[in-house]
Structure 1
Amino acid sequence: MHKQIILNLPVKDLDTSRAFFSALGFTFDPRFSGENAAFMNIVDGSIQAMLTTEAFFQSLIGKPVAKAKEANEVVICLSCESREEVDGLIARAAAAGGRIPHPPEDHGFMYDQGFEDIDGHLWNLVWTAPEA
Structure 2
Amino acid sequence: MPKLIFVNLPVADLPRSMAFYEAVGARNEPSFTDETAACMVFSDTIHVMLLTHDKFRQFTPKQIPDAKRTCQVLLCLSMDSAAEVDAIVARAADAGGTADPGPKQDHGFMYGRSFEDPDGHVWEVMWMDVAAARAAMAEG
Report deviation, 1:103.
Answer: 5.1
Q: How many residues align?
A: 131
What's the secondary structure of 1:31's corresponding residue? Answer: helix
Report deviation, 1:58.
Answer: 1.2
Task: Give the counterpart letter for 2:90 in structure 1.
Answer: A
What's the secondary structure of 1:69's corresponding residue? Answer: coil
**Residue aligning to 2:27:** 27
Report deviation, 1:64.
Answer: 1.3
**Residue aligning to 2:136:** none
CA distance in 1, matches of 2:22, 2:76: 18
What's the secondary structure of 1:40's corresponding residue? Answer: strand
CA distance in 1, matches of 2:41, 2:25: 10
CA distance in 2, matches of 1:86, 1:17: 20
For structure 1, which runs of at least 5 residues remain unmatched after alignment? none
Q: Deviations over 1:92-112 (max 9, x none)?
A: 001011112145321101000
For structure 2, which runs of at least 5 residues remain unmatched after alignment? 133-140
4+ long deviations beyond 3 Å: none
CA distance in 2, matches of 1:35, 1:57: 13
Report deviation, 1:49.
Answer: 0.9
CA distance in 2, matches of 1:61, 1:103: 32
Task: Give the counterpart letter for 1:24 in structure 2.
Answer: V
Task: Give the counterpart letter for 1:81 in structure 2.
Answer: D
CA distance in 2, matches of 1:92, 1:109: 24
